Amino acid sequence: MVLQKIRLRGSNDWKEYVSINNIVTFVVFDTMEAIHLNDDADLIRQLHRGNPTAFDALFRMFHPALCFFAKRLAIGLPKGQAEEIVQDAFLKLWQRRVNFSDLSAVKAFLYIATRNACLNYIEKEKVRNRRHERYLNTVNEVEDAVVEEIIYSEVLREVALAINTLPEQCRRIIKMAYEDGLTPKEIALALNISVSTVNNQKSRGVGLLKKRLSGNGLALLLFFL
């Protein structure tokens, strides 16, 4: 909070203002003499009149305890957040200063405003954390799916390259079984050869591929054969 006095140009009046969080409220006085606050009732009367001296007295009276209250209520507040919450409560007090009949009402208002602001902050943090958690889960799921597709594509490429290195008849039979999903009988009919020849060539091809494929590639090939 900042309390300052400035003199109006071309006038004997002084303008005294209160600044909280760069929000400025101006009050004009006919004199710059200090106003003495005799008791609580006088303090409230001066607050009603918009006297920043009264406001400053209330600020000094309650600010430390309210900051402690905010930090205890909303554990884990970022540095300076409790002070900001309390300053906002004082700003609301200043804006509604004519509504308070006594010091107890002022005190109750400040604590309630601080409590509500803390609870709102906690709720917003919970929502933000839930959104952040959902975002991370979604990102992780997408990343996992992408990685799996990359691995699968690379394994397919490895298998295709390895199959292309096989002898011609062996390669044709493996491709028909692996890529087209044909049974040995269907392959035999298509190539006009015996089923036993198909099985022998498949066994030969798998034996050659075992030497050329990684574990993942071989597992994928055997799954489809």
Whole-angstrom Cα distance, residue 198 to residue 82? 79
Same domain, residue pair 193 and 91: no
Of 82-91, 164-173, 198-207, 215-224, minimum mean pLDDT range: 215-224
Domain that holds residue 57: 2-129
Report pLDDT digits (tens) over 134-144. 766 665 665 66
Same domain, residue pair 7 and 79: yes
Q: Decide if 152 is inside a domain.
A: no
Query: What's the CATH number where 123 sits?
Result: 1.10.1740.10
Q: Is the pLDDT of residue 37 over 70?
A: no
Same domain, residue pair 124 and 199: no
Whole-angstrom Cα distance, residue 147 to residue 160? 20
The domain total for the chain is 2
What's residue 3's pLDDT? 40
Q: Decide if 188 is inside a domain.
A: yes
Same domain, residue pair 111 and 11: yes
Same domain, residue pair 22 and 102: yes
Q: Is the pLDDT of residue 201 over 90?
A: no
Whole-angstrom Cα distance, residue 84 to residue 89? 9
Query: What's the CATH number where 211 sits?
Result: 1.10.10
pTM of structure: 0.47
